Structure 1
Amino acid sequence: MSDYDLLCLLLGRNLAAPVVGRVAADLLERFEDLGGIAAADATELARVHGVGAAATLDLKLLRQLSVRLARSTACSRPVLTSWHALLAYVRVALADLPREQFRTLYLDRRNILLRDEWVADGSVDHAPVYPREVIRRALELSASALILIHNHPSGDPAPSQADIKVTRQIVDAAKLFNLQVHDHLIVGREGTASFKSLGLI
Structure 2
Amino acid sequence: MNHRKLSAGETAGTYRITDTVTEAELLSIAKAFARRRLARGRKITQPTLAFEYLQILLQDYEHEVFSAIFLDSQHRVISFEELFRGTIDSANIYPREVVKQALAHNAAAVILVHNHPSGDPEPSDADRRITKRLQEALCIVEVRVLDHIVIGSGGCKSFAELGYL
**Shorter-chain TM-score tier:** 0.7 to 0.9
1:93 aligned onto 2:104:
no
User: 1:153 maps to which residue?
Assistant: 117
Higher relative contact order (CA 8 A, sep 6+): 2
User: 1:185 maps to which residue?
Assistant: 149
* Structure 1 residues not aligned, in runs of 5+: 1-5, 12-33, 35-58
- Residues 73 and 109 in structure 2, CA contact (< 8 A), matched pair in contact too: yes
Q: Distance in 1 between matches of 2:113 and 2:46?
A: 18
- Aligned partner letter, 2:131: T
- Residues 99 and 138 in structure 2, CA contact (< 8 A), matched pair in contact too: yes
User: 1:10 maps to which residue?
Assistant: 21
- Residues 74 and 83 in structure 1, CA contact (< 8 A), matched pair in contact too: no
- Aligned partner letter, 1:124: I
Question: Residues 160, 178 of structure 1: CA spacing in aligned structure 2 closer, same or farther, 3 A cutoff?
Answer: same
Counterpart among 164, 178, 181 of residue 128 in structure 2: 164
1:73 aligned onto 2:31:
no
Larger helix proportion of the pair: 1
Q: Distance in 1 between matches of 2:89 and 2:47?
A: 29
Counterpart among 96, 115, 131 of residue 132 in structure 1: 96
Question: Residues 99, 148 of structure 1: CA spacing in aligned structure 2 closer, same or farther, 3 A cutoff?
Answer: same
How well do the aligned residues superpose, as a CA RMSD in angstroms? 1.9
* Structure 2 residues not aligned, in runs of 5+: 1-16
1:118 aligned onto 2:118:
no
Larger strand proportion of the pair: 2
Question: Residues 82, 106 of structure 1: CA spacing in aligned structure 2 closer, same or farther, 3 A cutoff?
Answer: closer
Greater Rg over alpha carbons, structure: 1
SS at 2:161's partner residue? coil
Q: Distance in 2 between matches of 1:176 and 1:94?
A: 29
Give the TM-score normalised by the residue count of structure 1. 0.67
